[in-house]
Amino acid sequence: MSFSAHWLELREPLDHAARDPALRAAAAALLRMPRVATVVDLGCGTGSSFRALAPHVDAAQAWRLVDHDPALIAIARRRIGAAAAVEAHPLDLRTLDALPLAGADLATASALFDLVGRDWLRGFVAALTQARVPLYAALSYDGHMHWSLSVADDAAVVAAFNRHQRGDKGLGPALGPDAAGALAEALAAAGYRVLRAPSPWRIDAAHAAMQRELLHGIATAARETGDIAEARVAGWLHARLERVGSGTCTVGHEDVLALPDRA
């Protein structure tokens, strides 16, 4: 599945504000070392995880950027500049054998695990366990969306959107809202010590452009399911767009940090 750099730019400030600070600090503490700390960023996009984590890390860093979109990796590389050593890995996550986990101090991802399927997750956790690498997976969507000002069909549109989230995004039928739970369960079963924390977006009038883009995206996904009549989706979108700028919207996410203490 492809993502536009524009959308990733719109969501980044909300993502960074939403990350659980304690889990982020614990992930950064794993990288406190006298030598260069090596981080693998899975589905790196334009490098949001680098910008979220690197300022909290007190060590020289090398980032292995993994994404199937070379244009996004190129943006990430340019934006990281000389702040860290960068290796580009333009590859599809389906090729689990090719993931550059060996010797890494941390694997990280943000807004990725809700896109993956259960079988892929099983294979990934096996590869991670074999490499004995910790994982910091931020911002998996949890299926909850709430507006302080409600309009007709909020629940029906969110239900359709959540069903769309479970569609195949290239890595098998997606876990969608079940992602953080399934990830935590698989990692615990593999012997990891797992920490979880909510990381909801709190979207207000300051993020009007992002809200508009999000609303169009939700409507498109809801339409694609065919679960709800076009006229109802159109009415919902119209009512929601009229309210951008008033009230707040909360979108649930969860962060997971897994430490291979027992793995």
Residues that bind ligand SAM (CB under 6 A): 1-3, 8, 15, 43-45, 48-49, 67-69, 72, 92-94, 110-112, 115, 170-171
Alpha carbon 89 to chain centroid distance? 18
Residues paired with residue 173 on neighbouring β-strands, in sequence order: 168
Contact by Cβ (8 Å): 139, 111 = yes
Least separation, in Å, of the C-beta of 101 and ligand SAM? 14
CB nearer to ligand SAM: give 7 or 243. 7
Q: Which residue, chain included where needed, has tokens 């590859």?
A: 91
Least separation, in Å, of the C-beta of 199 and ligand SAM? 12
Size of the chain in residues: 263
Contact by Cβ (8 Å): 24, 37 = no
Least separation, in Å, of the C-beta of 10 and ligand SAM? 10
CB nearer to ligand SAM: give 24 or 263. 24
DSSP, collapsed to helix, strand or coil, labels residue 46 as coil
Least separation, in Å, of the C-beta of 201 and ligand SAM? 12
CB nearer to ligand SAM: give 170 or 235. 170
Interior angle at CA 20, CA 112 and CA 96, nearest 5: 25
Least separation, in Å, of the C-beta of 171 and ligand SAM? 5
CB nearer to ligand SAM: give 113 or 192. 113
DSSP, collapsed to helix, strand or coil, labels residue 38 as strand
Residues paired with residue 250 on neighbouring β-strands, in sequence order: 146, 202
CB nearer to ligand SAM: give 171 or 187. 171
